[in-house]
Amino acid sequence: MQFMQAGQTMAQQFMEFLGKNAQAQGNQPPQIDPQALTALQKRLMDQQMSLWQAMLDKQKGAPQAFKVEPEPGDRRFAAPAWRDSPIYDYLHQAYLLNVRYLKEMVEVLPAQDDKARDKMRFLARQVADAMAPTNFAATNPEFIQLALETKGQSITDGINNLLKDFEKGRISMTDESVFEVGKNIATTEGAVVFENEVMQLIQYAPLTPKVGTRPLLVVPPCINKFYIMDLQPDNSLIRFLVEQGNTVFLVSWRNPMEAQGHLGWDDYLEHGPLAAISVIREMTRVKQINALGFCVGGTILTSALGVLKARGEDSVASLTLLTTLLDFSDTGEIGLFIDEQALTTREATIGQGGLLPARDLQNTFSFLRANDLVWNYVQNNYLKGQKPQAFDLLYWNSDSTNLPGPFACWYMRNMYLDNSLRVPGKLTMCGETVDLGKLDMPVYLLATREDHIVPWQSAYLSTRILGGKLRFVLGASGHIAGVINPASKNKRSYWINDDVQADADAWLAGATEMKGSWWLDWANWIKEHCGEQRAARKIGTTKYKAIEPAPGRYVRERAV
């Protein structure tokens, strides 16, 4: 009976959470239909009784007639300890029933619109994930088993891990002592050849005797460090780009501190891509370059190209956008954090100056996948006393960045909330009225099928905005793993379809699956836009001399 009541307790806590959230926004909390609630409670009671009876039958040697399985991909109860003991076997299945009840309750609650319903679903998932028996010592058989095997040492180690993380102010996801930026990650040879308050411009050393006439500018996201694209030699996208015969330049965004808290969107455009394009053209003496943007780096880059177009300049011959939003109609769960009230509060506090702290951004992204990026480490680090394994991608994930308040507020207001970038002439940036439809260069668009930050259907909407010849490619996996899919390993797959006139679902229905990495597909595409071959040149020029070796000092600055 206690486990049946647990479902009611979970639902009660969720409703209290909703009530406080509604009160904070000046709204009335949602009221569930009493008849619908009664029906849900009766179904939960019946299912719990069926589970209880099935467990009793199982103990008598009879087949278990009623069983509750985790959802696909849920590995929390995979250890044999959850099934070897009848207590924990019942406990985890009863929990799964309670989660099912909570999800069903959300669907019968009244909601103003789809976004409100999605927010309730998200909050319900957070409550359910937090209350999982895996997260508590008394209800986790793996914790008890390990404590007995180690004679309590795992408990001591877990407490020490917890104290260390308290000092750092964040959960440790990897053994950070193994990695050092510039030593065993972000090691592709190059040098900083230009810098300003916003970014350093890195030029990478050639790896081929000849290179294309047109250099390639890479604009990574400013929300994280650039070296996700240059982790280690065998999974470095930057190294791959250089190996394809490109003269590669990269914008390394500064990790802003209080002194940069005044910077806005226009500052990032003017002193980011626009400054980089000007310097690169001067250094290489070409009229046009190729450009590649990743995530919000792609949004910034495309906005900058819109500014150039409005100024009558065609400085970019081809554009590559990786998991980038230009149409923010559907932003996935990220958009649930951005509403009028929350944004108005931020605009009043940091909109005119100040920082959006790295910790806020990291927590937001982590709780999008709480079981993988939060509770998994609570269990392993603190309950089991384990030391996190060394993993370069998770080291990068922990190396978060701040954002200047004015930049962050402008971005959230005009992109996420108002979705203005897609509308011709609606936004003025750097003093220019921007129309992305006038960008007529060839474009390579990559989205990833399981992306929870940039839903692939939303990335596909860029085909309706840009004016040039488009190639849309859909990669497997998620926002990071789908992009960083080394050609040398040639894993996963990607989908291609030359018909981008259809809607997203029809495009996918008619697409062909190709085995391996999308990197090779892009390499063939970019060759058409590299220009004639010429002898590779050393880094820098007389005017733009090497300031310091790559990866530079900006990327080493950690948020405090």
Catalytic (active-site) positions? 295
Report the alpha-carbon distance of residue 341 to residue 411 in Å, rounded: 16
Encoded tokens for 398: 């922990």
User: 70 with 96: CB under 8 angstroms?
Assistant: yes
Residue with tokens 């081809």: 318
Query: What residue type is 69 in one-letter code?
Result: E
Maximum C-alpha span of the chain: 85
Q: Whole-angstrom Cα distance, residue 13 to residue 22?
A: 14
SS (H, E, C) 391-453: CHHHHHHHCECCEEHHHHHHHHHHHHHCCCCCCCCCCEECCEECCHHHCCCCEEEEEECCCCC
380, 382, 383, 384: CA torsion to nearest 10: 50
d(CA 50, CA 48): 5
- At 143, the amino acid letter reads F
Spell out a b/e string for 294-333, using b for 16 or more CB atoms within 10 Å of the CB, else e: bbbbbbbbbbbbbbbbbeeeebbbbbbbbbbbbbbeebbb
| Helix (H), strand (E) counts: the chain | 20, 17
Q: Which of 430, 91, 39 is nearest to 273 (CA)?
A: 430
Token code pair at residue 346: 């931020």
Dist. CA 405–CA 206, nearest whole Å: 38
**Bridge partner residues of 446 (DSSP):** 322, 473
Query: DSSP secondary-structure letter at 335?
Result: G
> β-strand 316-322 against 443-448: which pairing, if any?
parallel
What are all long-range contacts of 353-356, with beta carbons under 8 Å and residues at least 24 apart? 353/261, 353/262, 353/405, 353/406, 354/258, 354/261, 354/404, 354/405, 355/256, 355/257, 355/258, 355/261, 355/402, 355/403, 355/404, 355/405, 356/402, 356/403, 356/404, 356/405, 356/408
Q: Which residues pair with 355 in a beta bridge?
A: 404
Distance CA 172, CA 166 (A): 10
Angle at which helices 86-108 and 114-130 pack, to 10 degrees?
Answer: 160
The CA distances from residue 222 to 265, 365, 549, in Å, are 12, 14, 21
Instruction: Tell me the three-class secondary structure of 499-551, residue by residue.
Output: CCCCCHHHHHHCCEEEECCHHHHHHHHHHCCCCCEEECCCCCCCCCCCCEECC
